Amino acid sequence: MVMQNIEMDLDITNGARGAIVDIVLHADEPPMTPINGIVCLQNLPIFLLVKLNRMQCESTLDTCVIPVEPVCKSHCIHYKTSEGSDATHTVKWHQFPMTSAYAFTDYHAQGQTLPYVIVDIAKLPSGGLNLFNLYVALSRSSGQEMIRLLRDFEDTLFKSTHAADLLAEDNCLLLLDGEMVAWWSHIAVSKAL
């Protein structure tokens, strides 16, 4: 799963799913031995070839296959030395903007139809689920034959209501919509005369 927006126009975005097709190693890496197929890397691979579930890219690559390069992030650490003076160090790391996705949150699943879904809507140790979370989680599959619930859940989740502020905002939007429809009707009648 892609973990950050790489190229919005090509739909290579946070939450995009796919499979790694090839790993292109750094030129200084030793060749893989056919005995065990294990390489202890000294350098980060140059790029990964990833076949995304949906997108079209360069004609030189197979359909939906893209190279994903590592990204560089940095963070400054401010601290006091043993002598008491202020010091700063910058830590840089290089990492591929991807992660294995055996499971992911409703946030990453939003807008996707998944072939098989196992949903966990049990009570969380902290925070909680609302009706929006439930809708996103339970509507990701293409049918009831393709979805399973991981464990029991509290029935009260489905008996809850939306937050009062949200309901008030919905009512406000309904009023504004009514005003807009009335205004537009008035304009249309005025133009017809």
| Residues 136-175 pLDDT 10s | 888 888 888 888 888 888 888 888 888 889 899 999 999 9
Nearest CA to 157 out of 176, 130, 120 is that of 130
Beta bridge partners of 79: 87
**Averaged pLDDT, 121-149:** 82
pLDDT confidence bin for 85, thresholds 50/70/90: very high
- Would you call 114 exposed, middle or buried from its count of C-beta atoms within 10 A (0-12, 13-18, 19+)? middle
- Residues 6 or more apart whose Cβ sits within 8 Å of residue 3: 14, 97, 98, 99
State residue 138's pLDDT score: 84
Phi, psi dihedral angles at 167 (to 5 degrees): -65, -40
Q: Give yes or no for a contact between 72 and 92, defined as CB atoms under 8 angstroms apart.
A: yes
pTM attached to this predicted model: 0.48
